[in-house]
A and B are shown apart, each in its own frame.
Chain A
Amino acid sequence: MPLRTEKTYSKVAYLGILGALTIVLSIMENAIMPALPFMPPGAKPGLSNIVVMFAASTLGLQETLLIVVFKSLFVLITRGGSAFLMSISGGLLSSLTALILIRMDMKNISLIGISVAAAVVHNIGQLLMSALLTHTLMLLDYLPLLMIFGVVSGVITGVIVSLVIPAVSQVQTHKYFGGVYGEKSK
């Protein structure tokens, strides 16, 4: 069997699109931050997680992690080392959480619940990393607030992903590579 098939190249392109999408959302997120002064430093609406959640539920482990790392590398280039560390700690923890939960395929939890869990874990992960970097525990004071924002952004992200997936599942390329959450077999 040849190592590279048409499918492989298509998949690379597909993932490339998703990666670019993540980055665009990330940029947008940062751009609207000034309009949200009530958020604690470092907290983000989590728009880029839409793509991560999408990948976690329709593609697989490798693809999801790839997107997370890709986003974090972008952060590294544009915002520096500490932002990179925060992005990757939050990103890895939350995507792994999402992937595990999706694997578990629980009857009572929908994508929204998983999204909330992932968002909260994302914020906690980032907060822990920032505490580590600044060598203080003071920032942990934000924990409750960030958890609440995690719930809110998780719900929003979850809703959007839930709406997007059925729509996208009609698209040829998507059908080629992935399924829909709830239907996909391990």
Chain B
Amino acid sequence: MSNVFIKHNKRILLFTAETAILALTMLLLSSCSIKSESAGSSAFLMGTVVSEKIYGKSGAEGEKILEEIEESISDCENKISWRISSSDTAVLNESGTADVTGSEELWETVCRLYRDTGGSFDVTVGKLTTLWNIGTEDARIPSESEIKEALKYVDGSQLTFNTDEGMVNAATGQFIDLGAVGKGYACDRAREVLKENGVEGACIAVGGSVLCYGTHDGKNTYSVGVRDPEGSVNDCLAVITVSECVVSTSGDYEHVLKQDGNKYHHIIDTKTGYPVQTDLAGVTVISSSGLLSDALSTACFSLGENDGRKLLDKYGAEGIFVYHDKTISFTDGINIKLQGEYHEKTD
């Protein structure tokens, strides 16, 4: 009976088998996804870890572009880091004047931000940061008199940028530290390399400043995690989905000096000379400009949320304000998913 059955219905059975196989194949295929070719690298630059991932290029060409990117970041460091004696900043600190051709935008922006933040953002804070040295082995708590003395030289109004000549001038004894904008600025330089080379997409992290560019794996957004101040390196309190932009964070947890049961972080208040006292644990800023995202994150941290939001609004940037009590407040234009115990601020 069964043989007859099979013989008569061979066509059906064959057909059913075909269909089943086709269906199964598709179920299997559904585990595939679109992936772009890519190349990646990491390096130690600007005193931090730089990691790059570029899409649409691979092999030798990819390697070459990665090298170019790292070179541009290194060049950037040579140009703006006060620790390098040939940099514009070092020259400025030494002689009170410097030719900053090539980075006019940087100086113009820091001067403007000094005014827009009422002095809270001030790169002449270098006089104080080099006193505290938080984040280095020489970190210490300066005496009150040392701080008072240093405060005399913290005055951003004395820092002037002459657009025509491309010259920057500072008063005698002032010390400029571009640490608050350096990494973001480096991201902008890296972006230029990407554009020149026609790279499809990229995600480059210069320390905590992350540049997102172009598209990858068929998507035009990137997922950037916001580190949890209290967690370890990979613990994130939220993940934001962004398209092209630079994301930077300033917080009180990255460089800290612990002494006598107190914690001293590295963002010094330009008015008091001591680390900024705030309920904020960190501020993350998203902007199309790396320079701005880095600078604004520091500025907002010092200003606090209310004034910070106004500042962000003025510069067309988005921000996330993270508080010590694990509450978070963020501007409307952000696609964010909170994680763990962090929740939105309600008041």
Closest 7 CB pairs of A and B: A148-B23, A155-B16, A155-B19, A159-B12, A152-B23, A151-B19, A151-B23
| Chain A interface, DSSP helix/strand/loop, else mixed | helix
A144 within 8 A of B: yes
Q: Which residues of A approach B to under 8 Å, CB–CB?
A: 112, 144-145, 148, 151-152, 155-156, 159
Other-chain contact of A144, B15, B16, B20, B30 (Cβ < 8 Å): B30
CA distance A175 to B23 in the complex (A): 38
B4 within 8 A of A: no
Task: Give residues of chain B (1-31) contacting chain A, Cβ–Cβ below 8 Å.
Answer: 12, 15-16, 19-20, 23, 26-27, 30
Task: Give residues of chain B (45-80) contacting chain A, Cβ–Cβ below 8 Å.
Answer: none
| Chain B interface, DSSP helix/strand/loop, else mixed | helix
Q: Which residues of B approach A to under 8 Å, CB–CB?
A: 12, 15-16, 19-20, 23, 26-27, 30
CB-defined contacts of B16 to chain A, threshold 8 Å: 155-156, 159
Chain A: CB-nearest residue to B24: A148
CA distance A61 to B26 in the complex (A): 36
CA distance A145 to B31 in the complex (A): 13
CA distance A145 to B24 in the complex (A): 11
CB proximity of A40 to chain B, nearest CB, Å:
12
Are A152 and B12 in contact, CB atoms less than 8 angstroms apart?
no
CB-defined contacts of B27 to chain A, threshold 8 Å: 145, 148
CA distance A148 to B27 in the complex (A): 9
CA distance A159 to B16 in the complex (A): 9
CB-defined contacts of B19 to chain A, threshold 8 Å: 151-152, 155
Chain B: CB-nearest residue to A156: B16
CB-defined contacts of A148 to chain B, threshold 8 Å: 23, 26-27
CA distance A145 to B28 in the complex (A): 12
New contact pairs (11) apart from A148-B26, A151-B19, CB-CB < 8 Å:
A112-B12, A144-B30, A145-B27, A148-B23, A148-B27, A152-B19, A152-B23, A155-B15, A155-B16, A156-B16, A159-B16
CA distance A151 to B18 in the complex (A): 12
CB-defined contacts of A159 to chain B, threshold 8 Å: 12, 16
Are A152 and B30 in contact, CB atoms less than 8 angstroms apart?
no
CB-defined contacts of A155 to chain B, threshold 8 Å: 15-16, 19
CA distance A148 to B16 in the complex (A): 13
Chain A: CB-nearest residue to B12: A159
CA distance A159 to B27 in the complex (A): 23
CA distance A138 to B6 in the complex (A): 43
CA distance A156 to B23 in the complex (A): 14
CB proximity of B13 to chain A, nearest CB, Å:
9
Chain A: CB-nearest residue to B27: A148
CA distance A152 to B27 in the complex (A): 13
CA distance A144 to B31 in the complex (A): 13
Chain B: CB-nearest residue to A116: B19
CB-defined contacts of B15 to chain A, threshold 8 Å: 155
CA distance A152 to B19 in the complex (A): 7
CB proximity of A142 to chain B, nearest CB, Å:
12
Are B20 and A152 in contact, CB atoms less than 8 angstroms apart?
yes
CB-defined contacts of A152 to chain B, threshold 8 Å: 19-20, 23
CA distance A152 to B20 in the complex (A): 7
CA distance A151 to B27 in the complex (A): 13
CA distance A156 to B16 in the complex (A): 8
CB-defined contacts of A144 to chain B, threshold 8 Å: 30
CB proximity of B28 to chain A, nearest CB, Å:
12
CA distance A145 to B12 in the complex (A): 23
CB proximity of A57 to chain B, nearest CB, Å:
17
CA distance A24 to B113 in the complex (A): 77
In the complex, 16 of the A-B residue pairs with CB atoms within 8 angstroms, ordered by the A residue number, are: A144-B30, A145-B27, A148-B23, A148-B26, A148-B27, A151-B19, A151-B23, A152-B19, A152-B20, A152-B23, A155-B15, A155-B16, A155-B19, A156-B16, A159-B12, A159-B16
CA distance A159 to B30 in the complex (A): 28
CA distance A183 to B23 in the complex (A): 33
CB-defined contacts of B30 to chain A, threshold 8 Å: 144
CB-defined contacts of B20 to chain A, threshold 8 Å: 152
CB proximity of A171 to chain B, nearest CB, Å:
21
Chain B: CB-nearest residue to A152: B23
CB proximity of A85 to chain B, nearest CB, Å:
28
CB proximity of B33 to chain A, nearest CB, Å:
15
CB-defined contacts of A156 to chain B, threshold 8 Å: 16
CB proximity of A61 to chain B, nearest CB, Å:
28
CA distance A140 to B253 in the complex (A): 43
Chain A: CB-nearest residue to B16: A155
CB proximity of A159 to chain B, nearest CB, Å:
6
CA distance A156 to B26 in the complex (A): 19
Chain A: CB-nearest residue to B23: A148
Chain B: CB-nearest residue to A148: B23
CB proximity of B340 to chain A, nearest CB, Å:
23
Chain A: CB-nearest residue to B18: A155
CB proximity of B236 to chain A, nearest CB, Å:
24
CB proximity of A127 to chain B, nearest CB, Å:
17
CB proximity of A157 to chain B, nearest CB, Å:
12
